[in-house]
A = this chain, B = another copy of it.
Amino acid sequence: MEHLHQSFTIKYGYNVFFTSGLFTVENPLLNDFLSAAQSASIKKILFVVDEGVVHTSPDLVNQIKAYFYQNNSAELINDILIVPGGEVVKNDTKYFEQVLRAVNSYGIDRHSFIAAIGGGAVLDMVGYAAAVAHRGVKHIRIPTTVLSQNDSGIGVKNGINYFDKKNFLGTFAPPVAVFNDELFLTTLTDRDWRSGISEAIKVALIKDREFFEWLTYNAVELGQRDLTVMNLLIWRCAKLHLEHIAGADPFESGSSRPLDFGHWSAHKLEYLTNFEIRHGEAVAMGIALDTVYSHLSGRLSAGDCQRVIQLLQQLGFEITHPLLQVDGADSPILLGLQEFREHLGGELTIMLLNEIGKGEEVHEIDTEILKQAGKLLLDMQFAVQK
């Protein structure tokens, strides 16, 4: 049969910059970046900021205005949008539409920029709006949490929730730049500071034993909010995530999701607790569950298993939750497993551990072992709390 064949490649590239005080008037980083962007026309920049960040950094909006008053690499849209943080900004499409309306009113075109400042949820929503407005406006990410600086904020995915389903709408659309500003980290609550560490543990467990050793060695400093140590953690974790995205299947055309280690049960738990349990907290529990499962199913040694649980507990993470227990065929966690299978398109693929630093994908989970793993973790948690 006759046919024409179409074939081309698209090259994507962007930098993840590390800085302190991105909007200090004297800091040339952002201005230089914007100046270097080629455009025959006036470059505009629209900011969308996480409400939570405005609360902890009340001067931020004025700093941004002062920065662009002094540095004229782009025309600042003075109407800086402020949107709620967390899942609410992804649940209600009105925030997505608010960004689109601004794009329309202020004449933001494909050569202009939309910058998002905030946690992962805000970056996801704004990234989606930027990806679909005019078939793609240039998007700058300025993640403010540990979690978004080392994981979600530096990657290529965006999305909003729809039909009560997480990220039902979204695209793969790399940002043009990411700016990780350490000053935002100092404003985090202890809970948010800690939460983001679980993604570092996750990526260490599946890819980098040395990084796991480093995390163990630095656990006390991390708990004491040592900024230098945290910056090193974020750098290395971000590097591992970037390498993974670039190496395998950036836009996830296959079913394999190694970076989702510990995530299948975490997603369900977040949802069941109406997101009162933070993503990073849920991931810590999911890591604990899949680690103990890896041990009980004969993959991971008892010693390695214990070291993982100890690190999680030393950092102050809870290692399990009553909703993660298998207690009959209709337990929420078994439903979560089923949903994850559907999400992947029919075949279950779950990452487990053979040793620290080395993962293995499996396509089946034994309900009885899962039940034992949950129970064991409940006992261990109880022992600590006593």
The chain A residues found within 8 Å of chain B, CB to CB, are 1-19, 29, 39-42, 100-101, 104, 107, 109-112, 128, 131-136, 154, 157, 159, 162-163, 165, 167-172, 174, 235, 238-239, 242, 245-246, 250-252, 255, 342-347
Determine how close the nearest CB of chain B comes to the CB of A160; give it in whole angstroms: 10
Q: Are A346 and B11 in contact (CB under 8 A)?
A: no
- Give chain B residues whose Cβ lies under 8 Å from the Cβ of A135: 157, 159, 167, 170-172, 252
Please give the distance in Å from A121's CB to the nearest CB on chain B: 16
Please name 22 pairs of A and B residues whose Cβ atoms are closer than 8 Å in the assembled complex, sorted by A. Answer: A1-B18, A3-B17, A4-B15, A4-B18, A4-B154, A4-B235, A6-B12, A6-B15, A6-B245, A6-B246, A7-B11, A8-B12, A9-B12, A40-B345, A41-B345, A100-B168, A100-B169, A109-B342, A111-B255, A134-B170, A136-B171, A171-B171
Report how far A15 CA is from B11 CA in the complex, Å.
21
A343 touches which one: B2, B4, B109, B136 (CB < 8 A)? B109
Known A9-B9, A40-B345; judge A136-B4 contact (CB<8 A): no
Complex A-B, nearest 3 residue pairs according to Cβ-Cβ distance, in ascending order: A41-B346, A40-B347, A111-B345
Query: Contacts A4-B239, A246-B6, A345-B40 given: A171-B132 contact, CB under 8 Å?
Result: yes
Evaluate contact between B133 and A168: CB separation under 8 angstroms: yes
Chain B residues lying within 8 Å of A246, measured Cβ to Cβ, are 6-8
